[in-house]
Amino acid sequence: MEVTFKVYRKDPEKDGKPGRSNYTIDIPEDATALDGLLKIRDELDGTLAFRASCARGYCGECTMRVNYKACFACTAKVSAFTKKAPEILLDPLRNVPVIKDLVFDWDAFMWNKIKALKPWLEPDESLSSGENLLPDSAMQDLRKVMSCYYCGLCDEGCTVLPVDFDFLGPAALTKAYRFAFDPRDKDGKERLKIAEQPKGIWDCVHCFEASEHCPRGIAPTERIMAVRDKAFKVGITNEKVARHHTSFANSVKESGWLDEGRLAIESEGLTNIKGLMKLLPTAAKAMARGKAPIPYLHPKRPGADKIKKIFQKGEQETK
Amino acid sequence: MKYAFYPGCVSRGGCPELYPSAVKVSAKLEIGLEELKDVGCTGAGVLPQYLSDPINARTFAKAEELGLPIMTICSTCQGVMSQANYRLKGDPEYRAKINQEYLSEEGLEYKGTTEVKHLLWVLFEDYGIERLKPLLRRPLKGLRVSPFYGCYIRRPPEAITPTKELNRRKNYLDELIEILGAECVDFSGKGKCCGFPILTANEENSLAMVGKHTGEAREKGADCMVTPCPLCHLNLDGNQPRAEAQEGKEIGLPILHLPQFLGLALGFDPGEMNLKRHIVATQTVESKVSMLA
């Protein structure tokens, strides 16, 4: 079949401006986008840059967007994308610094962020003299996480990265889970502190895009949430987040539901005059529209005492 | 047709215009609501799972006792409850543990039969669009509306869109906008995060998201945006002026709650839907609607 490949181009050695090159080629019905790219490079344009390795959907090296959908070029059948017209669009991922054409900077995109989370085991050497043996069941959950092959699709789906490239992102934060929940790691609290660094777990909006994008079913969003829950349990070290979560929990614990006015004030900190002043313009506007919840004047829900008991039990169990 | 109504904290707190609008619209549609009053906050993704799952199991058990499915009017409540319900329904051992440790003292037991549905889902899956259409007194012709779903009414797939048929949920709001006679203005941010969950942790990023989504919808020519999530509303409406200041652009995009939008098409006046309570002025919507009356 004859298909036109419309490929994103950018050459830093020329003007560095993004553009597109069109290549019309004849490929078999079952060809993949990667088959097409290889043919173009071999036969039409040796300057076209892209990455690929395993060619069987197992390494993530050829991650790109095909007709704006992020996938692996090596498993994306061209025929599935050319039903409307005999053409196919190939672009790099959205949230990446492009080096040339479809090749982007993996270090800046992901590896440097993973490195920031100290992705190595720090075993508690006082526990054993030789091997640190664990029952198979203790590693079952972590094995799932360790099956990640760093294709970057979760970071591609991330809602935060388009507004803040420095956010550590779901791939790296899932790595934080892998060590925070490893029973052989010596200091859980230290591990959580690393994950709580600026641009870390608390900057995640838990939108579940990462989980939806993950081709391995690792559920990165749920992993980040689990690390946050663990931090909540042992004590959050990010001060502002700690104030917010404590206020939220206290409000529900005491009244059964959320006192939003109280949450706004206590999240800033009752003695943080500058922070509280910042709330004033929005609060004044809300008050003028009759929609500013008055802090602390918050009636208890009828079942509040039962909710309080759930809190007390939950807190007791985690001790 | 009756539901155990779970309005959520924000519909009477930061968005007090939502609760009465939802009640009025439900009454007009003859959707019976029995409000669950002695239940707790879902946890909103802030409380850890080990606290929020028992609180939500208790809510499900209360609805189960009434023999009614739950109806929500908040994407966040919907999402957190759907996720908890997915775990509790799918894992009988876990459910038994929660029942025994947290609910039995009160004489409650969650058997795993409660359905939780947002008003948006109720309209399509239970009420029926064919039943809705003849009730539209004011088709919103000429109004250009962008949908904004909120994350938790679209994801995660196992809890929200578990079957191919239910995958349609991802498009309900787009469909409803057209059904109500308005023009759907699609844009890339409709299923993304509004930024509200990180308003405390990273205000700059949160406001950047508000500016990005409302700005894009405005550029595409939307008169307003409609959302089934009051938390999205808090950020997209309440913090839009701050986002404008941070991003250095004027946006001024009115944000409507789903029941308000539906109410206008059912013939309610903007005043009855409490549009005056919004932070971003809603005059453009009101004047277009008044021309249709």
* Contact between A285 and B151 using a beta-carbon 8 Å cutoff: no
Give the number of other CB atoms < 10 A from CB of residue B284: 16
Domain(s) labelled CATH 1.20.1050.140 in chain B stretch across 2-118
Facing residue for A203 by CB, picked from B45, B156, B198: B198
Q: Which pLDDT score, from 0 to 100, does residue A186 have?
A: 86
Residues 143-172 of A with CB under 8 A from B: 159-160, 162-164, 167
Q: Which pLDDT score, from 0 to 100, does residue B74 have?
A: 98
Backbone angles phi, psi at A67, to 5 degrees: 50, 45
Evaluate if residue B65 carries a pLDDT over 90.
Answer: yes
Confidence of residue B293 (pLDDT cuts 50, 70, 90): low
For chains A and B, count residue pairs whose Cβ atoms are closer than 8 Å.
Answer: 166
Cα–Cα dist A280/A124, whole Å: 50
Average pLDDT, chain A: 94
Confidence of residue A261 (pLDDT cuts 50, 70, 90): very high
Cα–Cα dist B63/B67, whole Å: 6
Does any CB of chain A come closer than 8 Å to the CB of residue B9?
yes
Domain(s) labelled CATH 3.40.50.11810 in chain B stretch across 137-292
Q: Which pLDDT score, from 0 to 100, does residue A273 have?
A: 92
Does any CB of chain A come closer than 8 Å to the CB of residue B169?
no
Cα–Cα dist A198/A187, whole Å: 20
- Tokens describing residue B9: 């904290």
Does residue A196 contact residue A122 with C-beta atoms inside 8 Å? no
Evaluate if residue A125 carries a pLDDT over 80.
Answer: no
% residues pLDDT > 90 (chain B): 99
Tell me: cis bond preceding B156? Omega within 30 of 0 counts. Answer: yes
Q: Return the amino acid letter for A290.
A: G
Evaluate if residue A18 carries a pLDDT over 80.
Answer: yes
Which has the higher per-residue pLDDT, A316 or A70? A70
Residues 92-131 of A with CB under 8 A from B: none
Give the number of other CB atoms < 10 A from CB of residue B83: 25
Facing residue for B40 by CB, picked from A233, A256, A318: A256
Angle in degrees, CA B63, B65, B71, rounded to 5: 15
Confidence of residue B214 (pLDDT cuts 50, 70, 90): very high
Q: Give the residue-averaged pLDDT of A11-34.
A: 95
* Contact between A206 and B202 using a beta-carbon 8 Å cutoff: no
Does any CB of chain A come closer than 8 Å to the CB of residue B228?
no
Interface test with chain A among B15, B50, B101, by most A beta carbons within 10 Å: B50
Facing residue for A310 by CB, picked from B102, B155, B242: B102
Does any CB of chain A come closer than 8 Å to the CB of residue B163?
no
- Tokens describing residue B223: 């008169």
Classify domain B2-118 by CATH number.
1.20.1050.140
Domains and CATH numbers, chain A: 2-104 (3.10.20.30), 106-234 (1.10.1060.10), 239-318 (no CATH)
Partners of B71 in beta bridges: B5, B117
Does any CB of chain A come closer than 8 Å to the CB of residue B45?
yes
pLDDT tens per residue across span A56-65? 999 999 999 9
User: Residue A265's closest CA among A218, A304, A311, A298?
Assistant: A298
pLDDT tens per residue across span A69-90? 999 999 999 999 999 999 999 9
Domain B137-292: give its CATH architecture: 3-Layer(aba) Sandwich (3.40)
Interface test with chain B among A252, A267, A282, by most B beta carbons within 10 Å: A252
Residues 6+ apart with CB under 8 A from A160: A167, A169, A203, A204, A205, B193, B198, B205
H/E run at residue B285: helix B283-292
* Contact between A159 and B212 using a beta-carbon 8 Å cutoff: no
- Tokens describing residue A121: 């085991």
Residues 288-317 of A with CB under 8 A from B: 289-291, 293, 301-304, 306-307, 309-311, 313-314, 317
Q: Which pLDDT score, from 0 to 100, does residue A132 have?
A: 80
Does residue B133 contact residue B179 with C-beta atoms inside 8 Å? yes
| Chain A residue closest in CA terms to B46 | A245
| DSSP helix/strand/coil, A232 | helix
Interface test with chain B among A94, A207, A255, A260, by most B beta carbons within 10 Å: A207
Predicted TM-score of the model (pTM): 0.95
pLDDT tens per residue across span A237-253? 999 999 999 999 999 99
ipTM (interface predicted TM): 0.95
Cα–Cα dist A167/A31, whole Å: 37
Per CB-CB distance under 8 Å, the chain B contacts of A219 are 156
